[in-house]
A and B are shown apart, each in its own frame.
Chain A
Amino acid sequence: MNQRYFREWTVAGAFGLLMLSLLIFAPHFFQGQPLLSRVTSQMPALLAAIGITLVIVSRQIDISVGAQFSLCAVIAGLTASAGLPLGVAIGAAVGAGALMGALNGWLVAYLGLPSIVVTLATMVTWQEALRLWQQGRLIGLPDGVQWFGLGQASGQMLVIGFTAGVLIFSAWGMRNLAAGRFVYATGTDAEAARLAGIDPKRTTFGVFVLMGVLAGLAAVLNLVQSAQIQPNSGDGLELKIIAAAVVGGVAIQGGRGTLWGVLPGMLLLANVNPALTHFHQPPYWEKAIQGMVILLAVVADGLRTRKSSN
């Protein structure tokens, strides 16, 4: 068991170490309101990371997540600014995400196309369509949208609470629902799964739809944090969450990984920048350090698998 969750523990340990050193050398990092704001701003990406974890465990990849996120955000923003109730805007974003995910899923699962190519194509398509359509316009949001009209403190709690709820349910479901087992089985050996009566195509399709839904929800949680929305708000999101999954121990070749590794992986990468600021270091190092963390994680994996196969 220890061996099995080794990665989850090491990443959590690394994150804990970072927090501990901040606590000792830069305790102002933990000041109430700024900390709460930082945590809240990471919640949309965390939601998307849940989706990508499922996608990668089922031995696929989705690099169109950022574009889906942007498109969902714009759709929700336009719906809200047209004066429709917030619920409709949320529904529109989630529905758009589900549709985009379903398209990816259908192409990958039922036409058997490689997911990297499919999602590269849909990524570019959504991005460019958005650019032509919106031409870089900012969308101002009506008053009732920010923090769901609840005020900052309770809005933040709602965002964090909702994300935590989805995270806990997903982590529980991956382990305790038959559907979760199907995802692992499909990712490890789709043919063996098929022979055992599991439908790997439907599983793959479902995972992509879920990814789209989560991208839509993430866009909504991002939307409520600001007064206006940019048409490219999701740029780079896919790399951020894939990196978090990899650092969190999700095997890129599928079949292995838990959300309990992805959570600290996500937090570790996201806190590089604020930690640098609080240690009074130039923030330019952020990407380089993140890159090194990813590399370290992969190298550690490589060494471990090599040792166990010898």
Chain B
Amino acid sequence: MRALKGVSFELVPGEVHALLGENGAGKSTLIKVITGAHQPDGGTLEVGGVEVPGLSPSRARELGIACIYQQPALFPDLTVAENIGLRLKKPGLFSRVRWAGQRGRAAELLKRIGAEISPDAEVRSLSMPEQQLVEIACALGSGARIVIMDEPTASLTQKEQHLLFAVVRDLRASGVGVVYISHRLEEIFALADRVTVLRDGESVGTNPVNDLTESQMIQLMVGREVSALYPPAEGEPGEVVLSLENVGCSGSGVRGVNLEVRAGEIVGLAGLVGAGRTELARVLFGITPGDEGTMRLLGERVAISDPREAISLGIAYVPEDRRKHGVILEMPIAHNMTMAIHRKLFRGGMLRFGAEESLAVNFIRDLGIKAWGPAAPGGSLSGGNQQKVSVARWLATKPKLLILDEPTQGVDVGAKSEIHRIIRGLAKEGLAVLMISSDLPEVLGMSDRVGVMRGGELVKVMERSEADAATVMAAALGTGGTSGKEAA
């Protein structure tokens, strides 16, 4: 899979250049290329008019490229001054640490960005926005000419945002080029001079911010036809399998979700990363049990506090990252497939390898899993086939409700349409399917109904006929129906 293909991007000193795109459009990959974390396999990269081949992270730092990530990468057990000191200069192994100088420099940098943080504070004791300010101080102190900010406001309060904006404007005034990544269009309008939109790993255009309206930006982000062929829905959905009334979980920020999923129906859940979709799935499956609202399964009120309970009630959850906590790569795929049905398949606690193998052989055949046999370790399969093994594990539990979290992430095109066919087939057999996906065409192509989440809430549920890319994206960004208002 190519994450980036032929991206052109240009940053001039003293500008704030916004980078915009859907989940997976290639923003993170582009940043990794600019900071030297990834090597591009084509094209050129110039800094200050000089081509730099084979950029490495340390070379990028020397060139004055600094990146502030959403999750600050500081040393929590060191003080602010020590963190800044470490970042500013790569010390020799035996060079003396000049404590007073280091502290003074840190204090000066923090003052410059208007941060009220003591240089002696341990980073562990700082809040997330304070840590981001420390990151910015580091970038400033290292004399960065290019500062990349990856969704810096994601965890900030309104007041902290304004402080951050002031710092960004300050940086711009001092001739620094700022690459600003955010999903919040209003921030882009408030802050950026130019905006480049990425889509499917390609740059689809760079424009001055004031030349575009919000809806035009959304159009640029999503503007593509649903090109792949999706298996069609057939028949009417049956009884309500899952019904949620005001379901929430204070721990993970899911609030007031109302939703019904019927047998034979695929409900897609769209939204930006961090909108609370996976969190909702984790509530439904009892990983982080909900503490508000009512959840009903086939009309019966249930309170699920543990995945085992969820499984016994007929819920299956195929988690987002199959490599992490999904398919166990060291284990044979047959073992992986029976992991959730030990109590059913092996009554009395004794394994029956014959039963296990025939179950695995059936799934390998039915789902078209490409593996040399039931004993093949999970790690020997391709991503798409691992995903099928993960699905098989849950189908083996004979669920009534199947929750899929990013079912085709990192899966190649061929396997993707196969997985789509499998999902539709399962719905046809009467399964209720809740599918989380950041792949907009997939959501639109697969779903009978589309729900959109933002900030932990389910903000919109649409029939397939009324859902299109622009309305879904607008709902996800929180600009539904007000396009252009903030732009003025």
- Residues of chain A touching chain B, judged by Cβ–Cβ distance below 8 Å, are 175-182, 184-185, 188-189, 191-199, 255-256
- A interface SS class: helix
Which of the residues A178, A184, A197, A256 comes within 8 Å of B311, measured between beta carbons?
A: A197
- Name the segment of B100-108, B159-167, B236-244, B345-353 touching the other chain: B345-353
In the bound complex, what is the Cα–Cα distance between A90 and B311 (angstroms)?
A: 42
Chain A minimum-CB-distance residue to B335: A181
Chain A neighbourhood of B330, CB < 8 A = 188, 255-256
Decide: B351 and A177 in contact? CB cutoff 8 A. yes
In the bound complex, what is the Cα–Cα distance between A176 and B346 (angstroms)?
A: 10
Decide: B339 and A198 in contact? CB cutoff 8 A. yes
Distance in angstroms from B306 CB to nearest chain A CB is 9
Distance in angstroms from B284 CB to nearest chain A CB is 13
Decide: B349 and A195 in contact? CB cutoff 8 A. no
Which of the residues A189, A194, A197 comes within 8 Å of B328, measured between beta carbons?
A: A189
In the bound complex, what is the Cα–Cα distance between A180 and B342 (angstroms)?
A: 11
Which of the residues A175, A180, A184, A199 comes within 8 Å of B331, measured between beta carbons?
A: A184
In the bound complex, what is the Cα–Cα distance between A197 and B351 (angstroms)?
A: 17
Decide: A191 and B325 in contact? CB cutoff 8 A. yes
Decide: A181 and B325 in contact? CB cutoff 8 A. no
**In the assembled complex, B317 has its CB within 8 A of some CB on chain A:** yes
Chain B neighbourhood of A175, CB < 8 A = 351
Decide: B342 and A181 in contact? CB cutoff 8 A. yes
Decide: B350 and A197 in contact? CB cutoff 8 A. no
- B interface SS class: loop
**In the assembled complex, B326 has its CB within 8 A of some CB on chain A:** yes
Interface membership of chain B positions 343-377, coded 1 if the CB is closer than 8 angstroms to chain A and 0 otherwise: 10010011100000000000000000000000000
In the bound complex, what is the Cα–Cα distance between A255 and B317 (angstroms)?
A: 23
Chain B minimum-CB-distance residue to A184: B331
Chain B neighbourhood of A181, CB < 8 A = 335, 339, 342, 351
**In the assembled complex, B85 has its CB within 8 A of some CB on chain A:** no
Chain B neighbourhood of A178, CB < 8 A = 342-343, 346, 349-351
Provide a sorted-by-A list of 8 A–B residue pairs whose CB atoms are within 8 angstroms: A176-B350, A178-B350, A180-B351, A181-B351, A184-B331, A185-B331, A194-B287, A196-B340
Chain B neighbourhood of A197, CB < 8 A = 307-308, 311-312, 339-340, 342
Chain B neighbourhood of A196, CB < 8 A = 307, 311, 339-340, 393
Interface membership of chain B positions 305-317, coded 1 if the CB is closer than 8 angstroms to chain A and 0 otherwise: 0011001100001
Chain B neighbourhood of A195, CB < 8 A = 285, 287, 307, 317, 319, 325-326
**Considering residues A175, A184, A192, which has the most beta carbons from chain B within 10 angstroms of its beta carbon?**
A192
Distance in angstroms from A295 CB to nearest chain B CB is 24
Chain B neighbourhood of A179, CB < 8 A = 349
Which of the residues B307, B324, B331, B342 comes within 8 Å of A194, measured between beta carbons?
A: B307
Distance in angstroms from A191 CB to nearest chain B CB is 4
Chain B neighbourhood of A255, CB < 8 A = 330
Distance in angstroms from B96 CB to nearest chain A CB is 36
Distance in angstroms from B124 CB to nearest chain A CB is 19
Chain B neighbourhood of A182, CB < 8 A = 342
Chain A minimum-CB-distance residue to B317: A195
Distance in angstroms from A224 CB to nearest chain B CB is 32
Distance in angstroms from B27 CB to nearest chain A CB is 28
In the bound complex, what is the Cα–Cα distance between A197 and B312 (angstroms)?
A: 9
Which of the residues B285, B287, B307, B325 comes within 8 Å of A189, measured between beta carbons?
A: B325
Distance in angstroms from B314 CB to nearest chain A CB is 12
Chain A neighbourhood of B312, CB < 8 A = 197
Not counting A178-B343, A184-B331, A188-B331, a sample of 12 additional A-B residue pairs whose C-beta atoms are within 8 angstroms of each other reads A176-B351, A177-B351, A178-B342, A178-B346, A178-B349, A178-B350, A178-B351, A188-B328, A189-B328, A195-B287, A195-B326, A196-B393
